[in-house]
Amino acid sequence: MQKRKLGNSNLEVSALGLGCMGMSFSYGPPKDKPEMISLLRAAVERGITFFDTAEVYGPFLNEELVGEALAPVRNRVVIATKFGFDTSVDPRGTKGAPVLNSRPEHIKQVAEASLKRLRTDRIDLFYQHRVDPEVPIEEVAGAVQDLIREGKVKHFGLSEAGVQTIRRAHAVQPVTALQNEYSLWWRRPEEEVIPTLEELGIGLVPYSPLGKGFLTGKMDEDTTFDSTDFRAILPRFTPEARKANQALVDLLGKIATQKMATPAQIALAWLLARKPWIVPIPGTTKLHRLDENIGAVSLELTADDLRTIDSAASKITVHGARYPETLEKMTGG
C-alpha cells in the first residue's frame, strides 16, 4: 500500500483510508460486530493504516467497535475521531438538525471519553465535526492545542469548514487535515477550499468519495432504502435525482471498461490523482468492496484520462442538493 502525508504535517497514512461510520450508523441498522471487527483487521493486513470514526456515530457504537478491533494493532494505525455535537440529546436533534457543542470544556470531555472507547492513550487526528457558530474557532483551536500539549491528541482537523474558518483556526493551532465531501459529483471544494489548503499545507480527506454509494454503479432509480438509511432523506437520492444523475455513473462505467476497472475504482483513482496530499476514506462493510477500493490505489490515470473525465463530467449537471436545508446550513462555516 502506498503512503501519503497529510499536507505539511508529519502524519503519514495509507493512500486510502477506511471510513467506519456505516458499520454502526447512517446506512441502515448497525452491522454484525464480529464481522466488522474481522473487516477492520483485514484492512490493516491489506496495508490500510488510516481509520475514521466519530463519537456521534451510534452515538458511541462506532468508536467502541474501532477501539476493540484495532487495540491489538494500535501502534500500526492512525485513528481519527471527531467532536462537536451534543450527544446528550438525539443526534438527529430538533427538526432534523443535530445540536452542536464545541465549547472548550465539552471538547476536553469528549476527548477523555473517546480515548476510553478507542482503548488508546492518544487520538491521532481530532476533527471538529461541524463548525459551531456559537463558539469562536480560535477557542476551539486553543482547546485542541491544550490536548496536544498534554499528549492526548496528536493532530488537529476540521470538517466542512469554510476558508476563513480554516485560516483563523490554522493561525492558532496548525490544521493537519480538512475532511470534506469531495468526489466527481461534489466538486465545490475546488473553487476556494483546495487552493487554500494547498497554500497553507493542509491535507484533504474526502468523505463520501463514492457519492454515498451512488458512483459505484450499484444503484439506480428503483433502489429502495431502509427507513434507518440516511440516504432516504437526501434530495440527491430521490428516484428522480438518481435517474438524472445516472449520466455520471455511465461516464465512470465507460472509462472503467477501457481501464479494465470498476466505476468505483475510477472515482477513487480520479481523487488520488488530483493532489498528492488527498487521502479518500471510502466506507464499506464488505470485504470484496474493500479489496475493490484498494485496487484503485494502483490504478494509473494518465493526463489524457483525467482530461477526458473532466471534459465529459463538465457537461453533466448533477441534480439534487447534498443535504436537506437544515443540514446544509452546517457546512462551509
Q: CB-based burial of residue 15 (10 Å sphere; 0-12 exposed, 13-18 middle, 19+ buried)?
A: buried
Please state the rounded mean pLDDT for residues 223-228: 89
Residue 134 in grid coordinates:
456559537
pLDDT at 325: 84
57 flagged as catalytic: yes
Mean pLDDT of the chain: 94
Classified as helix, coil or strand, 15 is coil
Domain boundaries, the chain: 3-210+275-299
Work out the widest C-alpha separation in the chain, in whole angstroms. 54
Pairing relationship of beta strands 175-181 and 153-159 according to DSSP bridges? parallel
CB atoms within 10 A of CB 125: 25
pLDDT at 333: 56
**Pick from 125, 204, 128: nearest CA to 168:** 128
Q: Measured between alpha carbons, how far apart are the two ends of the chain, in Å?
A: 35
Classified as helix, coil or strand, 97 is strand
Classified as helix, coil or strand, 206 is strand
pLDDT at 329: 80
Give the span between the Cα atoms of 35 and 234, in whole angstroms: 28
Please state the rounded mean pLDDT for residues 98-127: 97
Give the span between the Cα atoms of 215 and 272, in whole angstroms: 16
Q: Which residues fall within 8 angstroms of residue 302, CB to CB, at 6 or more apart? A: none
Q: For 248-281, how does the pLDDT look when each residue is reduced to its tens digit (9 = 90+)?
A: 999 999 999 999 999 999 999 999 999 999 999 9
Please say whether the structural domain 3-210+275-299 has been given the CATH code 3.20.20.100.
yes
Q: For 4-30, how does the pLDDT look when each residue is reduced to its tens digit (9 = 90+)?
A: 999 999 999 999 999 999 999 888 889
227 pLDDT band (50/70/90 cuts)?
A: confident
pLDDT at 90: 64
pLDDT at 327: 85
Give the span between the Cα atoms of 83 and 43, in whole angstroms: 25
Residue 186 in grid coordinates:
461534489
Give the span between the Cα atoms of 259 and 240, in whole angstroms: 30
Catalytic residue among 27, 57, 127, 182: 57
94 pLDDT band (50/70/90 cuts)?
A: very low
Q: For 155-167, how does the pLDDT look when each residue is reduced to its tens digit (9 = 90+)?
A: 999 999 999 999 9
Q: For 130-148, how does the pLDDT look when each residue is reduced to its tens digit (9 = 90+)?
A: 999 999 999 999 999 999 9
